[in-house]
Amino acid sequence: MRIVVLGSAAGGGFPQWNCACEGCRRARAGDRQARARTQTSVAVSADDKTWYLLNASPDIGAQLLRTTCLHPAGNSRHSPIAGVILTGAEVDAMAGLLSLRERQPFVVYAPASVARTVAANPVFGVLNPAFVRWEMLSSGQPVVIRTSGPPAAGSSASLVVEAFAVPGKEPLYLEAATGTGDAIDATAAERQPDLDQTIGLAITAVEAGVRMVFVPGCGAINEEVRRRIEGAALLFFDGTVWQDDELATSNVGTRSGRRMGHVPMWGEGGSIASLDSLNVGRRVFIHMNNTNPVLLSDSAEHALAREAGWEIAADGAEYQL
C-alpha cells in the first residue's frame, strides 16, 4: 500500500490567509523551519494505478497538480482517482468535492450524516449523480474497494476500509441549526454507537497484510479508539492543537481544542500520553492548526513530539507499507 500526504494542515492551511501569528509570518516569509502546508487530504493505493482520497480539501486542485501519480493518462478525460472517503462534514474535509465535478466517474464513501449534509446543500448538485455514486459507511462494517482490474484468481480484495465512531462533534456551521455544541464527552461513541458525525478509518491491504489508521479529527481518546489503533503499521492522528487552550493563548480565539472536537497533543489526556502504550509502527500527526508550534521544526514542542516517537506530517510525504 502506497500512501501520499497531499495536505497536512487544518482548516485554513499554513500559513492561514488572515493570520499573523509567529508561525504564519515565518511560513509566509519562506522560512525553511516553518514549511507551508495545505489542508489535510491523503491518497492511498494498493497498486499505484487506482487511488482513493481520504477527504477532499479545498486545496485539492493544487494538491493534484503537484502529485504526478494522480495526473490523468492518455489523450482525453481520465483520472486514476476511483473514490473519495470522507471522515466528516467539516468544510476542510469535503469542500474539495466541488473541484471534482467535471463529469468524471468516482465513488464517495461517507457516513450517512455526511451524505445528508451534502444532499441538503444545493451547491453540491454539481456532482452529477450519473457520474458520482455515493456509498454509506457504517461503523464496524468493512467495505471492499478494488483496483481497476479484476482480482487475480484466489487473491483477496485490494483494500478493505472499515469506519469506526470517534468522539467528536458536528461541524460548527451545523451547530446553530441543531442546538448542539456541548463539550466533547469521551464516552459519546460508546453510548451512541450510531453517532457518525466524526469517524476514523482503518484501511487494510489484504494481500500485504498491513493496516493503516486515519483519524484526522478526534475529541477524546476512549477505549474503542485505542482498540482500533492497536497494531496498526501506520497511524495518522489528529494533531490540530498542541495544548487545549492554544487558540486563547495565541490570541486568535476562545474555543478550546476539545470544544472544537480535537484532543490536544500534550498534557493530561492528550494524544501523546494516551496512545503511548499502544503497539503502532509509525505515528504521524496530521491536520495541524496554524497556531500549533510543532509546525516549526526548530520549536521545543516539535522536539518533544519527535522524542515521544511521533512524526509531523508534511505535504508530499510518502509512506510504503
180 — pLDDT class (breaks 50, 70, 90): low
Residue 313 CB partners (closer than 8 Å, separation 6+): 5, 8, 236, 239, 284, 285, 286, 288
Asked if residue 194 has pLDDT above 90, the reply is no
Residue among 186, 207, 157 nearest 270 (CA): 186
Pick the range with the lowest mean pLDDT from 46-55, 178-187, 212-221: 178-187
For residue 181, give the amino acid letter.
Answer: G
pLDDT above 70 as % of the chain: 90
**Largest separation between any pair of C-alpha atoms in the chain:** 60
pLDDT at 174: 84
171 — pLDDT class (breaks 50, 70, 90): confident
Residue among 216, 285, 291 nearest 253 (CA): 291
Residues 213-236: what's their mean pLDDT?
97
Question: What kind of fold does domain 2-320 have according to CATH?
Answer: Metallo-beta-lactamase; Chain A (3.60.15)
C-alpha–C-alpha distance, residues 89 and 170, integer Å: 7
Task: Find the angle CA(279)-CA(284)-CA(287) to the nearest 5 degrees.
Answer: 135
pLDDT at 190: 38
**Residue 237 parent element (H or E):** strand 234-238
Residue among 190, 188, 89 nearest 140 (CA): 190
pLDDT tens figures, 62-88: 999 999 999 999 888 899 999 999 999
pLDDT at 38: 99
Residue 290 CB partners (closer than 8 Å, separation 6+): 9, 10, 12, 13, 14, 15, 16, 19, 21, 23, 24
Asked if residue 153 has pLDDT above 60, the reply is no
Task: Find the angle CA(148)-CA(133)-CA(137) to the nearest 5 degrees.
Answer: 90
- Alpha-carbon dihedral angle through residues 106, 111, 116, 122, given to the nearest 10 degrees: -30
pLDDT at 147: 66
| C-alpha cell read off for 3 | 500512501
C-alpha–C-alpha distance, residues 94 and 9, integer Å: 14
- Which is it for the CA torsion 53, 59, 63, 65, positive or negative? positive
The residue count for the chain: 321
Residues 243-258: what's their mean pLDDT?
91
230/154: higher pLDDT: 230
3-state secondary structure of 135: strand
Asked if residue 101 has pLDDT above 50, the reply is yes
Asked if residue 156 has pLDDT above 70, the reply is no
**Residue 203 parent element (H or E):** strand 199-205
Residues 245-267: what's their mean pLDDT?
92
Name the pTM for this structure. Answer: 0.93
C-alpha–C-alpha distance, residues 262 and 288, integer Å: 10
Residue among 296, 194, 205, 235 nearest 42 (CA): 235
C-alpha–C-alpha distance, residues 211 and 262, integer Å: 23
β-partners of residue 111 are: 137
C-alpha–C-alpha distance, residues 299 and 245, integer Å: 18
pLDDT at 74: 83
Asked if residue 104 has pLDDT above 50, the reply is yes
178 — pLDDT class (breaks 50, 70, 90): low
For residue 22, give the amino acid letter.
Answer: E
Categorise residue 211: left if φ over 0, alpha if ψ from -120 to 50, beta otherwise.
beta
pLDDT at 186: 42
Residues 110-125: what's their mean pLDDT?
92
pLDDT at 149: 54
pLDDT tens figures, 276-314: 999 999 999 999 999 999 999 999 999 999 999 999 999
175 — pLDDT class (breaks 50, 70, 90): confident
pLDDT at 183: 43
The domains of the chain are located at: 2-320
C-alpha–C-alpha distance, residues 243 and 247, integer Å: 9
Give yes or no for a contact between 245 and 251, defined as CB atoms under 8 angstroms apart: no
Q: Return mean pLDDT, the chain.
A: 91
